[in-house]
Amino acid sequence: MRAVDVSAVKRPSRRRSAEAALARWREARFGLFIHWGLYAIPAGVWQGKRVPYIGEWMMFREKIPLATYAKFAAQFNPKNFDAAGIVRLAREAGQRYLVITAKHHDGFAMYESASHPYNVVQATPWHHDPMKDLARECKKQGVTLCFYYSQDIDWQHPDGAWNTWDFDERKKNTNRYLREKVYPQLRELLTNYGPVGLIWFDTPVTISPRQSAAIRRFVKKIQPGCLVSGRIGHGLGDYGIPRDNQMPPGRLAGDWEVCATLNHTWGYKKHDQDWKSASDLIRTLVESASKNANYLLNIGPDATGRVPAASVSRLRAIGAWLRKNGASIYGTSPSPFAHDFPWGRITTKGRILYLHLFNKPSRLFELRGLQTRVVTATPLLAPGRKLGVRQTIDPTTGTPVLKLDLQGLRFANPVTVLKLRLAACPTVTPGPIQEPDGILSLLTAEARACSAKGRPNLKISPLGFTGGWKQTSDWLEWRGTVLTPGKFTVEVITTHQHLESWSGGHTARIETTGRSLRKKLTRDAQIDYIQAAYFPRIATRMGQVEIKEPGPFTLSLHLDKILPPPKDTPLWDDMSPLVVAVRLLPV
């Protein structure tokens, strides 16, 4: 998503310019998120106490009166802010767009807003508009400038959502807030800084479908090529966003953007020094691309404007990997398979398949289900080294099996990429296939929702989880392929957002091969994976089954008893069970 000088090109139609903008955004695959505002001053500490949760929510967590919070503005004079350096950092990291908080939930505009005095130019001794600097630098350095804007939650405006300690909830009038603050400020952002790649709307909590639609129209009227993030609400974004730091299982349908922190806060917190490793970040970038998602990775500059050194080094490490391996990420399409693999992830570009190995593989690498002929296979970084290729058909199941001889392959941490040239665009066997290690993962995304009463209420969400599973007459069903029969332990895997409670305790039943396993969903084990801190995956061991013959098989998951949701049901979740998968592990 390189910045485009719109004055130099003939004006395309509105529709074409929106499509071109989406195509550029998709091609970019990697962006820089920046959370910077007054909250960087307390930096996670209030009245001598470390405040838990993300730094930019301090005003809400501590119910700090607006008059008190607003005093931070008088201290904001960020002598280390370096727009050129930040944009250079994004470029070094291989990030092609940058999204900065023009106004976060605290309601403070980090740019010159003629329509509202609560802004960085009028209210701080700095009297300076950092967005002007960033716009100039983005244009100069070829990075697309984008703005985050909190369109619903606003703790400064009496009619904004969720400041109930300063303002009377009953008197709130959202339309007045939109009219007085949101529309005028959006107009400023869309007219004073040149072309804007996208507006990253966030947290639609009280806004109506009509209001979201009107905001979208407003943006598109001023800049038809400006994208609108999925959190405008009501499914009206140009692309979707999973929850923060969430990596869904399996491939996603449509366009998505995974947004993530480098530590565990978005806005700067001086005591959060728990940084993710560069290796995990690179793997997460790969995983996002393999699932049809961009990766938007955050920095939280401190109150002086300095980007934490730990963030800089990690972004540079990702950039170093991308400089060599970027062909397997930028402009790629997602994996042709709907499921994930235990060894790594796949991206594609036309007739090329990129296999991203996350661990040192054994000499013989096996991939099941690829129907297309492989012409050549080479390590991406050693194009002259042809790898041995053998493609056969498993005689009992008809499953295509690809074997690569990786002898002498130099595995480079954290991800080594193999490039496979195919005779045509890839096609694959649909449905779950048993892996060479004997494990069968049946993702919810690959299941069918069924009901004994006609149409199921149970939904499979676009992110591949169950939703609205409230009736025992609904069930999930999979058809998969087993190549090596035998005895298997059956696990049901469920998840939850780490700050919300886990929906367990329901009674589940597995039906397969004429056997029935019935058990309460208990927390028997936790599955280790990169995002486990945010969305723990909990395994319930249901018992054992025996599959006697190779070939197709069917398995279904039922809930015989569904517990009512807890009283503290959060806004984002109906607290019905979130099933990720059923796994069959060879005994």
Binding site for ligand FHN (CB under 6 A): 54, 56-57, 202-203, 244, 259, 266
Closer by beta carbon to ligand FHN, 259 or else 562: 259
Q: Which is nearer to ligand FHN, 241 or 482 (CB)?
A: 241
- For the bound state, the minimum distance from the C-beta of residue 150 to ligand FHN, rounded and expressed in Å, comes to 8
Instruction: Pick between residue 57 and residue 155 the one whose CB is nearest to ligand FHN.
Output: 57
The rounded distance, in Å, linking the Cα atoms of 538 and 527 is 6
Report the C-alpha gap between 371 and 428 in whole angstroms.
5
Shortest distance, position 155 Cβ to ligand FHN, whole Å: 11
Bridge partners (DSSP) of residue 333 are 348
CB-based burial, 184-222: b 16+ in 10 Å, e otherwise: ebbebbbebbbbbbbbbbbbbebbeeebbeebbebbbee
Q: How far is the CB of 171 from ligand FHN (least distance, A)?
A: 24
Q: Closest distance between ligand FHN and the C-beta of residue 99, in Å?
A: 10
Show the tokens assigned to 321: 């990997």
Burial class (CB within 10 angstroms; exposed 0-12, middle 13-18, buried 19+) of 351: middle
Q: In a 3-state reduction of DSSP, which class is residue 270?
A: coil
Tokens linked to 132: 């002007």
- Of 241, 244, 193, 187, nearest to 215 by C-alpha is 187
Closer residue to ligand FHN, CB minimum distance, 104 or 116: 104
DSSP 228: E
CB of 507 to ligand FHN, least distance (A): 33
Q: Which is nearer to ligand FHN, 182 or 521 (CB)?
A: 182
Element housing 486 (H / E) = strand 486-495
Question: Smallest distance, Å, CB 296 to ligand FHN?
Answer: 8
Taking the complex as a whole, how short is the minimal distance between the CB of residue 153 and ligand FHN, in angstroms?
7
Buried b (16+ CB within 10 A) or exposed e, 281-318: bbbbbbbbbbbbbbbbbbbbbbbebbbbeebbebbebb
For residue 140, what are the CA distances in angstroms to 2, 87, 96, 134, 307? 11, 9, 13, 10, 21
State the nearest-atom distance from the C-beta of 97 to ligand FHN, in Å.
15
Residue with tokens 């966030």: 202
Q: How far is the CB of 162 from ligand FHN (least distance, A)?
A: 10
Please give the helix or strand (H or E) that residue 449 lies within, else none.
Answer: strand 448-451
CB nearer to ligand FHN: pick between 265 and 416: 265
Report, in Å, the least distance between residue 148 CB and ligand FHN.
Answer: 7
Comparison of 259 and 555: residue with beta carbon closer to ligand FHN: 259
Contacts with 447 (C-beta within 8 Å, 6 or more apart), sequence order:
460, 476, 477, 478, 557
Q: Which is nearer to ligand FHN, 61 or 179 (by Cβ)?
A: 61
Q: Sign (positive/negative) of CA torsion 504, 253, 99, 184? A: negative
Look up residue 214 and give its two tokens. Answer: 């009107």
Instruction: Return d(Cα 487, Cα 515) in angstroms, integer.
Output: 12
Nearer to ligand FHN, 244 or 366 (CB): 244
Three-class DSSP category at 498? coil
Question: CB of residue 208 vs ligand FHN: minimum separation in angstroms?
Answer: 20
Closest to ligand FHN by CB, 54 or 547: 54
Nearer to ligand FHN, 197 or 414 (CB): 197
Q: What is the 3-state secondary structure (H, E, C) of 315-371?
A: HHHHHHHHHHHHHHCCCCECCCCCCCCCCEEEEEECCEEEEEECCCCCCEEEEECEC
